[in-house]
Amino acid sequence: MSKRDEIIAAAIRLAEVSQPGQANLSVRAVAKEAGVGASTLRHYFPTQADLHEAVALRSIDTVINDFSIADSSRAPADRLYECCAQFLPTHEHRDVQLETWFSMHLHALGAEKRAVSRRLLEHGHRVTYDSLHRWLNLLAEEGHLDPTEVAPTATALFTTVDGIALHSIISPETMTVDAAHEQVKWTIDKLLSSWSPHSTS
């Protein structure tokens, strides 16, 4: 692990043991946790904002769960749904999740957009696409999907998930949590079933 990565890892450890929103990611605390001097830390992260952005970017990289996507004993649609469901709102936290989703886009794309928010959103966007490609490539290798259709299928699923988030905010009585999950399940069945002639290969 590079020194830079060690510092980020230390900051993430500090963030994990903190109360939400109260992580002590001061230069001094992070340097102590990483076992480096403040000047070393400043060499890699000239400002606290640089450090915070690096931590946020790294968190995005590790937040997506592959669950049992590689478990070929299970139905492909079930595994893919389980993976996609982590992008959907939950009963317990729906309002907060949708507000976070919208304000993330607002800060990145809105009138008073900030460059750091834009970079975080773009990074999260890329990481999500990469995950979808990884999952669909696995299913294609098992013969459940035409390998040449991994890319449009990934785009179809990601645009569906983001469209569902937006519609959950616009029309919360129609696009309920259950409706959102059912819709993704339905779309996955459609996208995988069109390849069914080959799915037993």
Binding site for a copy of itself (CB under 8 A): 102-103, 105-106, 108-111, 121-122, 125, 152, 155-156, 158-164, 166-167, 169-171, 182-183, 186-187, 190-191, 193-194
The C-alpha atoms of residue 58 and residue 13 are separated, in whole angstroms, by: 12
Nearer to a copy of itself, 90 or 171 (CB): 171
Of the candidates 158, 139, 152, the residue with the CA atom closest to the CA atom of residue 198: 139
Smallest gap, in angstroms, from Cβ of residue 169 to a copy of itself? 6
Smallest gap, in angstroms, from Cβ of residue 179 to a copy of itself? 8
Smallest gap, in angstroms, from Cβ of residue 155 to a copy of itself? 5
Smallest gap, in angstroms, from Cβ of residue 50 to a copy of itself? 23
In this structure, are residues 89 and 177 in contact, taking their beta carbons and an 8 Å threshold? yes
Nearer to a copy of itself, 10 or 108 (CB): 108
DSSP 3-state assignment of 88? coil
Buried (b) or exposed (e) across 90-116, using 16+ Cβ within 10 A?
eeeebeebbeebeeebebbeeeeeeeb
CA–chain centroid gap for 39, Å, is: 33
Smallest gap, in angstroms, from Cβ of residue 162 to a copy of itself? 4
Of the candidates 61, 54, 38, 27, the residue with the CA atom closest to the CA atom of residue 130: 61
Nearer to a copy of itself, 10 or 144 (CB): 144
Nearer to a copy of itself, 12 or 157 (CB): 157
Nearer to a copy of itself, 18 or 193 (CB): 193
